[in-house]
């Protein structure tokens, strides 16, 4: 019954201050420039979305929630011409704003984590981000906190970025460039970038800002006691500086240039047999100087996070060597920053790196943030993919990106300013496209977007009237076993496991999968709450409205935040009559709406 009805339904579907002058002026400039560019291409943009569609869209974008039926109704009846701007400000002032965007940026940072233990810091890192966004900390200040963080990872959330890559300079350099400037530099680690102008020396000059970062467990008996520190040397040698010549001069008693087990001393003697299995290339049960140099390099590479006094670009032809000594040099020529003295300590280097990245003379910092936020709110960025910008790339509607990036810089990287400005544009508020995406000029109409896992989770909780976590109500079966020991809302974590995706991925590449569909169709949690009992949302609707048409309208407002079309009402009424059981028919109707593509999408 439910499957048949779902198919039929899908086939039928067709005291807050208004935004300040700066935001509205820039929003107007954006729309004027887009109108000019559309006219040049003989494109007529779509009109503004209905109040229902706008309210659902902006509520999901700025707060990660869906509006209640009462909110939808009151917003539609409100005659205030500034009600949309006021709603934008109201949502930005809510605690939910920080929660949804803290969750988003946690995914941006952790999606490429190389440290397998990042789950240890996820809750604290996300909580720190939530506080930063709700306090409206400028983006350049958040960037500085992330790159210069020190402290215990279970106490200082800001250490999340560095811990996610165990403090490894090469990994951090690639991610810092990607996250904060939208530039992919990782290819230049081993060779000059094949499609961009970045050279290998530029990548390793960037990594040279970061060698003295140390990430270590401070208490061997406490798994969570990892800490990000500055590794200070004060003239002493690090373990990686152990000289084979000195070692052999001390231990090689017969002076044959090789060490056997009887000659080895200390830790080398204790692990000699184990080292032989890896280093003894000629199988003579001895270690030569060359073999020792190789195993030393391998041991160093397998122990990330130790911190090194200086940074060396690896010699690809001789992996055992230290490589070429590199000085910290920022690869964006336009960016103005401090001159570093040779041998500068860790925090001096890291702060200098942030000075270069956040400098108003660095165009990529503002453009990367604007491009990412615009893409997340409108479904497509000026540069795509959003984290692969660069001088060899060409932005769509480059003038529009320039207007927003300049405004973001001029307003000192005020994050809420940018969200408010974008949400007040006509480009953001346009109605949904009705043709295939290939035939629509970007930003001339709204694009349907798959909701992120947190938005879906919040929507389910709101629609079904759940106050606590899904996981406390037996929703996930076997998945609960995987969530034991994880901090935070286990139901939310399970939703992320099922529904999350790389936030840098283009929307056209984000599709549902079989586990998601099976959960939505077979979850005992949904089955238990989609019923006409008096204590459920559906039961209260049925008790409140004796007229089926009124109940249908209220159910659509609850689940989809809009009124049903006449065709949808007609199909629903026919089905209720066919089933001849009001409660069962409405359960099927609600189940179908919850399983619809529209419910899982922003429109």
Nearest to 62 by CA among 93, 17, 30: 93
Report the share of the chain in percent with pLDDT over 70.
Answer: 86
Annotate 544-580 with b (16+ C-beta within 10 A) or e (fewer).
eeeebeebbbbbbbbbbbbbbeeebbebbeebbeebe
> For residue range 212-268, what is the model confidence (pLDDT) as tens digits?
999 998 887 787 889 999 987 654 444 444 566 667 777 888 888 888 888 887 667
Q: What burial class does residue 342 get, using C-beta atoms within 10 Å of its C-beta: 0-12 exposed, 13-18 middle, 19+ buried?
A: exposed
What is the average pLDDT value for the chain, to the nearest integer? Answer: 86
Task: Give 88 or 221, the one with higher predicted confidence.
Answer: 88
pLDDT of residue 412: 97
Task: Give 266 or 342, the one with higher predicted confidence.
Answer: 342
Nearest to 572 by CA among 592, 602, 558, 546: 592
pLDDT at 401 over 80: yes
Mean pLDDT along residues 53-79: 97
Mean pLDDT along residues 111-124: 89
Predicted TM-score of the model (pTM): 0.84
pLDDT at 304 over 70: no
Residue 279 near residue 324 (C-beta atoms within 8 A): no
pLDDT of residue 518: 74
pLDDT of residue 492: 78
Beta strand residue intervals within 33-76, DSSP E? none
Mean pLDDT along residues 518-526: 72
> For residue range 143-195, what is the model confidence (pLDDT) as tens digits?
999 999 999 999 999 999 999 999 999 999 999 999 999 999 988 888 887 77
């Amino acid at each position: 019954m439910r499957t048949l009805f779902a198919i039929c339904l899908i086939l039928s579907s067709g005291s807050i201050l208004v935004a300040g002058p700066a935001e509205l002026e820039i929003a107007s400039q954006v729309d004027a420039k887009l109108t000019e560019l559309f006219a040049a291409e003989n494109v007529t943009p779509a009109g503004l979305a209905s109040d229902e569609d706008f309210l659902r869209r902006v509520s999901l974008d700025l707060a990660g929630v869906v509006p209640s039926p009462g909110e939808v109704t009151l917003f539609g009846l409100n005659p205030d011409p500034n009600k949309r701007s006021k709603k934008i400000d109201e949502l930005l002032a809510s605690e939910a704003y920080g929660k949804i965007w803290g969750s988003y940026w946690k995914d941006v940072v952790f999606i490429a984590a190389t440290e397998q233990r990042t789950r240890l810091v996820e809750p604290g890192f996300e909580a720190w981000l939530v506080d930063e966004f709700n306090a409206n900390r400028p983006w350049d200040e958040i960037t500085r906190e992330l790159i210069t963080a020190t402290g215990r990872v279970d106490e200082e959330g800001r250490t999340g970025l560095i811990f996610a890559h165990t403090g490894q300079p090469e990994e951090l350099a690639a991610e810092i460039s990607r996250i904060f400037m939208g530039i992919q530099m990782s290819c230049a680690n081993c060779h000059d970038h094949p499609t961009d102008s970045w050279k290998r020396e530029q990548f390793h000059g960037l990594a040279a800002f970061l060698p003295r970062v140390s990430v270590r467990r401070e208490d061997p008996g406490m798994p969570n006691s990892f800490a990000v520190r500055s590794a200070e040397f004060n003239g002493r040698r690090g373990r990686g500086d152990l000289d084979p010549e000195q070692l052999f001069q001390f231990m090689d008693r017969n002076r044959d240039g090789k060490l056997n087990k009887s000659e080895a001393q200390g830790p080398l003697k204790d692990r000699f047999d184990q080292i032989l299995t890896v280093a003894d290339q000629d199988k003579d049960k001895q270690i030569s100087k060359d073999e020792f140099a190789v195993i030393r390099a391998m041991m160093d590479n397998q122990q990330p996070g130790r911190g090194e006094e200086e940074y060396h670009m690896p010699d690809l032809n001789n992996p055992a060597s230290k490589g070429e000594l590199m000085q910290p040099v920022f690869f964006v020529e336009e960016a103005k920053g401090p001159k570093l003295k040779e041998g500068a300590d860790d925090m001096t280097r890291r702060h200098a790196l942030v000075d270069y990245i956040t400098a108003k003379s660095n165009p990529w910092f503002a453009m990367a943030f604007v491009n990412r936020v615009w893409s997340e709110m409108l479904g497509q960025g000026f540069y795509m993919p959003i984290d692969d910008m660069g001088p060899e790339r060409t932005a769509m509607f480059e003038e529009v990106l320039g207007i927003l990036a300049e405004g973001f810089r001029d307003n000192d990287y005020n994050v809420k300013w940018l969200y408010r400005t974008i949400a007040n544009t006509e480009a953001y508020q346009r109605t949904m496209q009705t043709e295939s995406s290939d035939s629509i000029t970007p930003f001339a109409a709204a694009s349907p977007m798959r909701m992120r896992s947190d938005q879906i989770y919040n929507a389910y909780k709101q629609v079904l009237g759940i106050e606590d976590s899904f996981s406390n109500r037996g929703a996930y079966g076997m998945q609960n076993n995987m969530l034991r020991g994880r901090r935070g809302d286990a139901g939310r974590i399970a939703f992320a496991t099922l529904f999350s995706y790389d936030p840098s991925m283009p929307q056209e590449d984000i599709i549902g999968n079989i586990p998601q569909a099976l959960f939505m169709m077979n979850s005992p949690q949904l089955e238990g709450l989609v019923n006409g009992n008096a204590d459920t949302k559906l039961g209260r609707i049925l008790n409140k409205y004796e007229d089926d048409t009124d109940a249908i309208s209220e159910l659509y407002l609850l689940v989809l935040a809009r009124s049903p079309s006449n065709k949808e009402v007609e199909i629903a009424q026919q089905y209720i009559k066919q089933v001849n059981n009001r409660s069962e028919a409405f359960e099927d109707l609600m189940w179908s709406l919850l399983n619809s593509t529209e419910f899982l999408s922003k429109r």
